[in-house]
Amino acid sequence: MASCLFCDIAAGEIPATQVHADEDFVAFRDIDPKAPTHVLVIPRRHVTGLDRLGDDDVDLVGRLLVTATRIASAEGLTGGYRFVINCGDDGGQTVHHLHLHILGGRAMKWPPG
């Protein structure tokens, strides 16, 4: 597999401000935050994106969401937050390792750009 930025961050080979780590997931602050709180949650396993998930990944995705809600809570986002998963070019995905954005600390607008 070609090198992957988020695999390298999960392995600790590229520095990031980590806010959570467990056996399956790592979360760290986005380098270019779009909100006062902007955390990325990734599975340690390299999965390119939502469009590459299969039936075997249902548990992984469920736990990704639940893990993210716990991180949002730990970040003190009591007023609410937004989860975003961009997929593919039209979805605005720039890093091809599945990641969930936690955005919070301000009121979000709708629709997104």
Positions marked active-site = 99
Q: Which is nearer to Zn ion, 8 or 105 (CB)?
A: 8
| Cα angle value 96/106/68 (rounded, 5°) | 45
| Cα angle value 86/113/78 (rounded, 5°) | 75
Six-digit token string for 61: 């995705």
Residues 17-46 that bind ligand 5GP (CB under 6 A): 28-32, 40
Per CB under 6 A, 48 contacts ligand 5GP: no
**Quick one: which segment of 60-68, 69-77, 88-96, 103-111 binds ligand 5GP (CB under 6 A)?**
88-96
Q: Which is nearer to ligand 5GP, 26 or 77 (CB)?
A: 26
- Residue 52, Cβ neighbours under 10 Å: how many? 12
Cβ atoms of 34 and 89 within 8 Å: the answer is: no
User: Which partner, Zn ion, ligand 5GP, none, binds residue 4 by CB below 5 to 8 Å per kind?
Assistant: Zn ion
In the bound complex, what is the minimum distance in angstroms from residue 52's beta carbon to Zn ion? 11
Six-digit token string for 27: 């979360």
41 HSE (CA, 13 A, CB side): 28
Q: Which is nearer to ligand 5GP, 16 or 102 (CB)?
A: 16
- Residues at the interface with Zn ion (CB under 5 A): 4, 6-7, 46, 97
